[in-house]
Structure 1
Amino acid sequence: MTRIVLSTGNIVTGGPLIIRKPGTPRSNLELTNSLRSNFQAAQQDYAPSPVNSNGNGAHHRNGHPVNGKTRPTVDAWTATEDSVLYVPRIDWTAAGLQEDRAQYEITLKLFFLPTASVEKRTEYINEALQLVMKELRVEHIDLLIASFPGISFEGDCEWEADKINATMGNDEEEITTWAALESLYEQGKVSRLGIAEFGTEKLQRFINRVKVWPAVNQINIKDCCSVPPPLTKLAKSEGIELLTHGDCTDILPSGTLRELLGHGAHGAGILADDENAQNGLQGNLIPEWVVKYTAFVNYRGVIENKGYFAGAELVKA
C-alpha cells in the first residue's frame, strides 16, 4: 500500500493554466485543472537540461529546457516523506502567509469521498488539517466545513429537494465523524465547525445528537429553486448561518485521479499503464479525501492563498 498526497499549491498566484472563465467555477474542475498545472510546473522545474553540441545545457531564459519536452524521472519532481508520496514535492520553506495571522479568516472544506473508508475518517481529518497548517504556517483554523458523500439538494422545487434530502447520507457515520471534529474544536485548533447539504429534517436530527452544533450549513441549490423556507426558519432559530456554494460532492472520482496520474496526454506519468506494467506504480487507486483551503485578508477584502490537498491510497492488487 502506498499513501499519496497531491497538492495544487497557491492557485491565486498560479500560472495561466489555472485562470478560469468568468463566473463561479465548479470545484471539481478547479481542482483537476490546478493539480494538472502544478504537476506540469514541477516537471518543468526538475526536467533535465538538454545538452547541445558543445556539451553545454541549452536553457530557456527562465531555466527550462527549450529542445523537446523531456519528462524528469518521477523521484526528481515528487518526494517520499514518512512513507507518503507527495505529488509534486513541496517546498515547505516557501510556505506561510504574508501578514500577521490575526489579519486572516482561514476556511477549510473537507470532502470525505465515497470511495474511502469511513473508519479512517479521523486519520483523514488529522492529515488534511496538518497539511494545511503546515502550508499556511498557522496553529488554528477559523472554520472547518465537513462535506459528507451521498448528500445533495435535488428536486423540481425546494420543498421536494428538502424532503428527498432527509433520506440521504448516513446519520450514524456522520455523527461519529463529527465527534472527531468536535475534538479539534475543544482543542482550540478550529474556532467554528460547519456542514454541507443538510436539509431541514436532517439538520434537526443532527443537532439533536451532537455536542457542538454547526455554526454554518452550506447548501448547493443549483438543482432546485431556492433555500427551503423550513430550513431558513430552523437555521435562524438555532443561530446557524446558511451559505450557498457551487462545490461538487464527489470532487475527485477514481477515474479522474487515475487519468491525472497516468501516462495519457495530460497525465503525470506516475501510474503504470496497460501496455507496460513496469513504467510506474501499480495497484488499485482509491481517492479518500480532498481539502480546499482559503486564507482571506479581512481588511483588504481579498483571498491571498487558496489551494487544495488530496489524499489517496494505492493498494496492490
Structure 2
Amino acid sequence: MDPQNSTEAKQLLNHAKTLRLHTGNLVNRSRLKKKCPGSTSEELRDCIQATLNDWFSTNKVSSKDLPDTLDCFLSEATDAITPEEREEVKVSVKLFLCESGQSSIRDAVEMACETLAVSQLDSVIIAPPGPLEGDNQSLAHLQPAWEELEALVRSQQIAAIGTSDLDKDLLEHLYNWAQVKPSSNQVNLASCCVMPPDLTAFAKEFDIQLLTHNDAKELMSAATFQEAVQEGAQDLSIADWRLEWVLRYSVIVKSRGIIKSKGYLVSARKASP
C-alpha cells in the first residue's frame, strides 16, 4: 500500500463505525493465500485479509468523503444472480451470530439479498451466539432469534429456516413452540461420528432434514478478527472492532448439484470507548 493509500485507509477506519465486507466468489480462490484452508475459521480469516488488502489497494476515497459504514468489496467479485438463472439455482445460507441482537439477523438477510440480487433466500440455518446449556435456558436463548427468522419467512425474504447443533430434546422443544417449524438441523461431525438414534427418529417423524457440518463453535474470536483486519489493512494501527455476524452463502445449480458460487458477508462495529 502506498503512503497516500495508507493515510486514506487510516482515516477511513478511524472514522467508520460499521465495517461491512463481501469476499466475493470463493469457487475461484486465486486471491487467497491458502487454496485449501484447513478449517472454516482459517478460510474466513484469509478471506478478510485478502478482501481488505485488495479493497484498500484499489480504492481511493477523499478525506472529505468519510462514510460511517465502510463497505469493502470488489465490484468484479460480486455474485449477483440474474433473473434468468434464479429458478435454476438454490441459495443456501448459514448465519453465525457473534453477539445477541435480532436486528443483526434482518441486516444480514437484507445484505445477502442485495449482494446476490435476489428477493428471497431459499434456506437459512442459524448458529446463535453462546453455548446452549440446559433445555429451558437453551430454548429461551433461541426464541428471540427464531422469532425474527419467522418474521422474515412471513415477509417472504426466506423460504425455509433451520438450526444448528440441537440435540433431540431441544429440537423437539423448539419444534413444539415454533410457529414456523425448523426444516433442517445441522450436526457437528466432530461431536458425533454417527447421528444419535433419538435425533434421527424425531427428524424422520417430523420431516426435518439432518445435515452435517464441521464449523467451530466459535467461528472466529474477537482477537483473531482484529488481527485479520489489521493484517488486511497493511498493519495499520486500528481501533477495537467487534464482530457482529458472519453469513456464509452457497449458490447451487439445482439440476447438477454443483456449487456455482460461495462466499462470506461480514459485519463488524467499532466498540464503544
Q: Shorter-normalised TM-score: what interval?
A: 0.7 to 0.9
Partner SS state of residue 296, structure 1: strand
Listed one character per residue, the Cα deviations across residues 237-291 of structure 1 (whole Å, up to 9, x for unaligned) are 11100000111231121001110122xxx3424762xxxxxxx4x3x32211110
Change (3 A) 1:80 1:32: farther
1:96 aligned to 2:80?
yes
Change (3 A) 1:169 1:90: farther
Change (3 A) 1:143 1:227: same
The 8 Å contact of residues 151 and 197 in structure 1, kept in 2 or not, is answered as no
Name 2:225's counterpart in structure 1: 257
**In 2: Cα distance, 1:269 partner to 1:251 partner:** 23
Name 2:251's counterpart in structure 1: 295
Name 1:33's counterpart in structure 2: 46
Among all aligned residue pairs of Structure 1 and Structure 2, give the percentage whose two residues are the same amino acid. 25
**In 1: Cα distance, 2:217 partner to 2:66 partner:** 29
Name 1:146's counterpart in structure 2: 126
- Residue type of the alignment partner of 1:252: M
1:315 aligned to 2:265?
no
**In 1: Cα distance, 2:146 partner to 2:129 partner:** 14
1:100-111 → structure 2 map (5 Å cutoff) = 100-111=85-96
**In 2: Cα distance, 1:44 partner to 1:271 partner:** 13
Name 1:189's counterpart in structure 2: 157
Change (3 A) 1:90 1:106: same
- Residue type of the alignment partner of 2:43: E
The 8 Å contact of residues 193 and 214 in structure 1, kept in 2 or not, is answered as yes
**In 2: Cα distance, 1:109 partner to 1:28 partner:** 14
Partner SS state of residue 87, structure 2: helix
Residue 151 of structure 1 and its aligned partner are, at CA, apart by 4.4
Change (3 A) 1:249 1:93: closer
Q: 2:176 aligns with which of 204, 208, 228?
A: 208
- Residue type of the alignment partner of 1:196: S
Change (3 A) 1:228 1:85: same
Change (3 A) 1:166 1:129: same
The 8 Å contact of residues 50 and 232 in structure 2, kept in 1 or not, is answered as no
**In 1: Cα distance, 2:41 partner to 2:270 partner:** 21
Q: Larger relative CO (CA 8 A, sep 6+): 1 or 2?
A: 2
The 8 Å contact of residues 92 and 135 in structure 1, kept in 2 or not, is answered as no
Q: What's the Cα RMSD here?
A: 2.7
How high is the TM-score relative to the length of structure 1? 0.72
The 8 Å contact of residues 104 and 295 in structure 1, kept in 2 or not, is answered as yes
How high is the TM-score relative to the length of structure 2? 0.83
Say which one has the larger Rg.
1
Change (3 A) 1:286 1:271: farther
Mean Cα deviation higher: 182-191 or 218-227: 218-227
The 8 Å contact of residues 247 and 265 in structure 2, kept in 1 or not, is answered as yes
Task: Kindly indicate which of the two structures has a greater share of residues assigned to helix.
Answer: 2
